[in-house]
A and B are shown apart, each in its own frame.
Chain A
Amino acid sequence: MQGITRLIAAFSAAALIAGPAAAQAPAEQKADEVPSPQQAERERAAAQPGNNAPVWKEVRSGQPNYTSIPGRETDVLIQPGARFPGQSHFSTAGEAWRQFRNGVVTFYGGWLVVLVLVAILAFYFAKGPVKLHEPPTGRLMLRFTDFERIVHWSTAISFCILAVSGLVMLFGKHLLLPLIGATLFAWLTMLGKNLHNFVAPFFIVSVVVMVIIWLRDNLPRAVDLQWLNPAKVWGFFAHSEHIPSGRFNGGEKIWFWAGVLGLSIVMAWSGLVLLFPNFDQTRAAMQDAWVWHASAAMLYICASLGHIYMGTIGVEGAYGNMRNGYTDETWAKEHHELWYLEHKGDRRVGGTGGAVPAGAPHMKENA
């Protein structure tokens, strides 16, 4: 850079000397030649002394200049103009990001989470949980191995910590701060931020392991297409109508591919950009990363609310499966019929499962 600067300086000195000569022969200049900003500034300085417009125009572009102060982007005087989705005007990138964060993400993101929560609760009180049609047989099948459950709950608990601390950082200022005061709220948010930073790598590792162990059982099958039919899905939730499926049903597979895998990739990538701000990424990169991180987080939280609902109060018996690892044959038959038929009486059920432990509760041999 130094060399180039010197070269420009040498050229400009030469140009100054040659200036009067060039002015006498304007016909030689090509009409389509666009003068460089430096050239424009020199010309302006000759024609209109004191008019620095080209300099200031250059500054507003956010381009790097010279500074002796070490550090990233210290040579940028002012952030360049930017426009985030939904903004009609360009403003300084920082200001544009502020408008997007405090406006679109806070407002629409916040209400989206509230609406999803309200919709789920309204559905629960209107229609109730998905129920079994037949009484439990008392015969249990191994649905999730110990390892699968450890991985699931590692992911789930770290997700909840990340989600709650993230929500506090975005909405706490409006909801919590007026209630508990600045000192306690700042302490709580500091704790939340540190948890967010240190739990995040644990979450990423958990997701990677989870994707590996459940990848095969989540490969789409023809029967899963029924989960794209709104009438069928409504029938399942509202009237407990059965949709046959393998170990995981179509809905679970959508959650696996779009949520656990897709959204996690967006969250992990953008999160890592934000986690290490003293690497060499620019402010623009971090603003963009934040927008992806927060937008994906809103979708992830909403989707997880649905998953948590179905895994707890929304579907009778679902929570016990992931808590204990065993499911009743009636539940298996009514929710995952193909998996039930494949593994009925099988001592080695579950996708990656090992042998059923001898001490499994109420385990009965199928004749």
Chain B
Amino acid sequence: MARMKFLCDAERCIECNGCVTACKQENEVPWGVNRRRVVTINDGVVGAEKSISVACMHCSDAPCMAVCPVDCFYRTEDGVVLHDKDLCIGCGYCFYACPFGAPQFPQAGAFGLRGKMDKCTFCAGGPEPDRSEAEFQKYGRNRLAEGKLPACAEMCSTKALLGGDGDVIADIYRDRVLRRGKGSEVWGWGTAYGPGKPGAAPAQPRKS
């Protein structure tokens, strides 16, 4: 089985926010929530400016999953970290724990009323039957079930954002680095996919 990962090439990202828009449109993301965002470091500084598109990285040892009081997170066979909004109690612990700021409180209600947490699904929907109406309402499009990759990465105009089988996108990136001779930092991979503990078994998908 493929292990799905995101990879953002800071040498290529031009901060067009196409991925943000693609995600919002494809998944009809709730008002006030952006499942993906583009952050620019040293904005406007010539020669030092770099942009990164960041969303849920679908970590191997996901902190959100570990702190959830009701255990509503699960991992698919593709290594995608998803959560069950029927179980979610909206406590926000995943939001404290995530290094990347992926899970968010919906902000639409009065007085900052909280509901179910929302986060990037790697365009893989949720626990409902694939491509069902209920799944779309809660989580957005299940593109993986349609044989497609996440909308953000597919829409990226410079192919800075890669989403897919971790081995395949790592090969693409390695080729690029060899060709251009620079920009070898695979941002966020250390935190998300980690070196892990030596000898530890890889995280297993939950059977549900």
Which A positions have Cβ atoms within 8 angstroms of B? 5-6, 8-9, 12-13, 16, 37-38, 41-42, 45, 49-52, 54-56, 58-59, 65-69, 71, 73-79, 92-95, 97-98, 101-102, 169-170, 172-173, 177, 182-183, 185-186, 189-190, 193, 274, 276-279, 283, 286-287, 290
Contact = CB atoms under 8 A, between A and B. Distances in A.
Interface stretch (B118-126, B130-138, B146-154, B181-189): B181-189
Given A49-B182, A77-B41, A102-B67, A97 B101 contact: no
A74 B37 contact: yes
B96 A287 contact: yes
Given A69-B38, A77-B41, A172-B69, A13 B46 contact: yes
Interface string B11-24: 00000010010000
Interface of B: 10, 17, 20, 32, 34, 37-48, 50, 52, 54, 63, 66-72, 86-93, 95-101, 104-105, 107, 112, 114, 180-185, 187-188, 191
A132 to B, nearest CB: 45
A183 to B, nearest CB: 7
Given A94-B96, A190-B89, A283-B95, A38 B183 contact: no
B42 A41 contact: yes
Given A101-B67, A182-B87, A193-B90, A95 B39 contact: no
Nearest to A77: B39
B114 A50 contact: no
A169 B37 contact: no
A71 B70 contact: no
Nearest to B66: A98
A65 B71 CA distance: 33
A212 to B, nearest CB: 28
A50 B44 CA distance: 18
Contacts of B67: 97-98, 101-102
